[in-house]
């Protein structure tokens, strides 16, 4: 085993605390587990908390295969001011009167629900999107004009949870959105559409794809477990992939080790049902509670897309 490799290969779901960047969390996990090969899927801003999926060891290679196509958030939107970053971290760039009707829960509920559906969205200038090889937020911080391409996104659900009147009018909302949607942009655009100004003043990711807060651990819990006790905290990699799976027999295990194609009669779908594989099906290959590879059906045989020689732990199909 090379230096700075712990022998741990797993996915973890971390409940990211406020104030830490996603990269800060990666560094904490590296230190706790003594493993340099750590990555994350789905960036969260320091001002946001909640579900952050982490890949450790060989599972860092798995992160690019996770679709995590939809996200769920609890968000707080403050009215009366727009900021440079579209959240509470930025400077106020515009203020506006807030129509009294927006404080009425019945009105707010209808407006919030009207956000559902496909839409074109302009990402925040202060975002991690790369523009000509540089992050948009780096350009914005230097005062450069940042023009980002509009994104076509979908808001599957928009629900009002409550209305508060403190220093400012605040809507407490929940959103279910497609991958790539910026809740900061929803907050900014909402104020503009209502003839006022608004920004995001609180954000918590409650789910990333099939992975929710109930599957998360805190950094403190991970630290308490340490490298020797982390086994009980693993995410099931097959569940995270949302792929059908196949349990390898001895012959198939040996074939997988050397990348030799083999036939497969049946696969188990995520809902527990079974069927024969068809062309282009991607299948998670499992042996003794470990994900050994992701293979693809080509003709009548499975062929290697990715192998994990040590196996990614935590498979419970």
- The answer to whether residue 4 sits within a structural domain is no
- Dist CA 179 CA 108 (whole Å): 25
Told to judge if 120 belongs to the known catalytic residues of this protein, a careful annotator would answer no
Same domain, yes or no, for 91 and 218? no
Same domain, yes or no, for 95 and 35? no
- Which structural domain range is residue 227 located in? 10-66+213-234
* Contact assessment for residue 35 and residue 191, using Cβ atoms and an 8 Å cutoff: no
Query: What confidence tens digit (pLDDT) does each residue in 69-90 have?
Result: 899 999 999 999 999 999 999 9
- The answer to whether residue 35 sits within a structural domain is yes
Q: Report the domain count for the chain.
A: 3
Same domain, yes or no, for 184 and 263? no
Stated pTM of the model: 0.91
Angle at 125 between CA 119 and CA 126, to 5 degrees: 120
Residue range 285-310: mean pLDDT, rounded? 97
Q: Which of 15, 24, 45, 250 is catalytic?
A: 45
Query: What confidence tens digit (pLDDT) does each residue in 2-19 have?
Result: 545 779 999 999 999 999
Same domain, yes or no, for 115 and 30? no
Same domain, yes or no, for 105 and 18? no
CATH number at residue 308: 2.30.130.10
Same domain, yes or no, for 14 and 79? no
- What confidence tier does 39 reach under pLDDT thresholds 50, 70, 90? very high
pLDDT at 142: 46
- Dist CA 188 CA 203 (whole Å): 14
pLDDT at 128: 55
- The answer to whether residue 77 sits within a structural domain is yes
- The answer to whether residue 3 sits within a structural domain is no
Same domain, yes or no, for 221 and 247? no
Same domain, yes or no, for 161 and 254? no
- Which residue, among 34, 2, 7, 52, has the nearest Cα to 313 in the 3D structure? 7
- The answer to whether residue 246 sits within a structural domain is yes
Same domain, yes or no, for 55 and 39? yes
Same domain, yes or no, for 147 and 190? yes
Same domain, yes or no, for 296 and 222? no
Radius of gyration of the chain (CA): 22
Q: Can you give the chain as a three-state secondary structure string? A: CCCCCCCCCEEEEEEECCCCCHHHHHHHHHHHHCCCCEEEECCCCCCEEEEEEEEEHHHHHHHHHCCCCEEEEEEEEEECEEECCCECCCCEEEECCCCHHHHCHHHHHHHHHCCCEEEEECCCCCCCCEECCEEHHHHHHCCCCCCCCCEEEEEEEEEEEEEEECCCEEEEEEEEEECCCCHHHHHHHHHHHCCCCEEEEEEEEEEECCEEHHHCECHHHHHHHHHHHHHHHCECHHHHHCCCEEECCHHHHHHHHCCCCECCCCEECCCCCEECCCCCCEEEEEECCEEEEEEEEECCEEEEEEEEEEEEECCCC
CATH number at residue 217: 3.30.2350.10
pLDDT at 143: 53
Whether 211 shows a pLDDT value over 80: the answer reads yes
Same domain, yes or no, for 262 and 186? no
Instruction: For residue 171, give both structure tokens.
Output: 């809507």
Whether 183 shows a pLDDT value over 90: the answer reads yes
- The answer to whether residue 137 sits within a structural domain is yes
């Amino acid at each position: 085993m090379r230096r700075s490799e712990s022998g741990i290969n797993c996915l973890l779901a971390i409940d990211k605390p406020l104030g830490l960047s996603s990269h800060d969390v990666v560094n904490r996990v590296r230190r706790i587990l003594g493993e340099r090969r750590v990555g994350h899927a789905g960036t969260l801003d320091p001002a946001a908390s909640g579900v952050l999926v982490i890949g450790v060891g060989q599972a860092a290679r798995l992160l690019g295969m996770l679709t995590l196509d939809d996200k769920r958030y609890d968000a707080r939107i403050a009215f009366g001011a727009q900021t440079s970053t579209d959240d509470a971290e930025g400077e106020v760039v515009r203020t506006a009167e807030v129509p009294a009707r927006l404080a009425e829960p019945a009105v707010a509920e209808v407006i919030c629900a009207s956000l559902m559906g496909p839409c074109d969205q302009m990402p925040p200038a202060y975002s991690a999107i790369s523009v000509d090889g540089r992050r948009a937020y780096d350009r914005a911080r230097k005062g450069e004009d940042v023009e980002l391409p509009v994104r076509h996104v979908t808001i599957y659900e928009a629900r009002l949870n409550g209305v508060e009147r403190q220093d400012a009018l605040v809507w407490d909302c929940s959103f279910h959105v497609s991958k790539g949607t910026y809740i900061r942009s929803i907050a900014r655009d909402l104020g503009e559409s209502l003839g006022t100004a608004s920004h995001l003043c609180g954000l918590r990711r409650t789910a990333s794809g099939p992975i929710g807060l109930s599957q998360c651990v805190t950094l403190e819990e991970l630290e308490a477990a340490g490298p020797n006790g982390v086994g009980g905290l693993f995410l099931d990699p097959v569940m995270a992939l949302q792929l059908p799976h196949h349990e390898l027999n001895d012959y198939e295990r040996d074939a997988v080790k050397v990348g030799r194609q083999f036939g497969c009669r049946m696969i188990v779908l995520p809902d527990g049902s079974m069927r024969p594989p068809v062309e282009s099906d991607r299948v998670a290959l499992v042996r003794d509670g470990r994900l050994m590879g992701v293979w693809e059906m080509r003709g009548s045989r499975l062929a290697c897309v990715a192998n994990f020689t040590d196996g990614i732990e935590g498979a419970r199909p």
